[in-house]
Copies of this chain bind each other. A is one copy, B any other.
Amino acid sequence: MHVVPPALDRLINDFAKLPGIGQKTAARLALYILRRPESEAKNLAQDLLHLHASIHLCRQCFTFSESDPCGICANTSRNTRLLCVVEEPGDQLVIEKTGAFNGLYHILHGVLAPMDGIGPDELKVRELLARVRSGTVEEVLIATSSTVPGEATASYLVDQLKKTGVATSRLACGIPMGMDIKYADEHTLAHAIRARQHIIEQV
C-alpha cells in the first residue's frame, strides 16, 4: 500500500535526482506544485520540453545559446584580445553578472578528471588552442575553480598555452571582500599573506 500517490512519488523522485535536492526538499517542492494551480505545473513542463530543442552550443565559445554564434561572440563591442576560460556556462553567467569583464569566453565543459576518464580530449581544449593560434587573443584568463581539479586543469592549460606564446593569467585568490579575517580558512589566509599586495600611495 502506498501512502504517497504514485504520480506524486514519481515527481518527488524526479526532483530528488537534481543536484542539492534531497528527498525532503523534493517532497516539499512536489507538494507545493500540487497545491498550486495546474497551469503552473503545465508551464514548467512546457519550459522543460522546449529547453533542449531551443538551446545549442555556440560554435566559437561553446556556451549554451539559442543563436550561433552566441550573443557575446557576436557582440562587436567586446574586447577580442582577452579570452576568459571557464569550466561551465554557469561560471560564465556569474562572471557576466559582475560587469567586470568585457572580453570573450571559452567554455571547457568540465575539468580534467583522469580517474573519471576525463582528459583534454573530453574538454574543449583542442578548440581553445586552435582559437588562440588563429585569432586575435593576446591574454587568456584561466578562471577555473580554485579546487584541486580546477587548479590541475589550469596548470595543464598554462603548459599548453605557453607553446602558442599568448599571455596567461589566473583569478586572484585571497580573503573575500567584506569578510572578517577571523572566519577565513587558513589556506586562504596563508595565500593572502604570501600574495599580499603592496599599497601604492596616491600623491
Residues on A close to B: CB < 8 A? 1-8, 10-11, 14-15, 17-21, 25, 27-34, 38, 40-55, 64-66, 71-72, 75, 88-90, 92-93, 96
Contact = CB atoms under 8 A, between A and B. Distances in A.
B75 A27 contact: no
A33 B48 contact: yes
A77 B89 CA distance: 54
* Copies of this chain assembled into the complex: 2
B51 A33 contact: yes
B7 A55 contact: yes
A3 B93 contact: yes
A143 to B, nearest CB: 15
Contacts of A92: 3
B3 A96 contact: yes
A30 to B, nearest CB: 8
Nearest to A71: B1
Nearest to A14: B44
Contact of A1 (B2, B7, B51, B75): B75
B11 A19 contact: no
Given A18-B29, A31-B88, A7 B93 contact: no
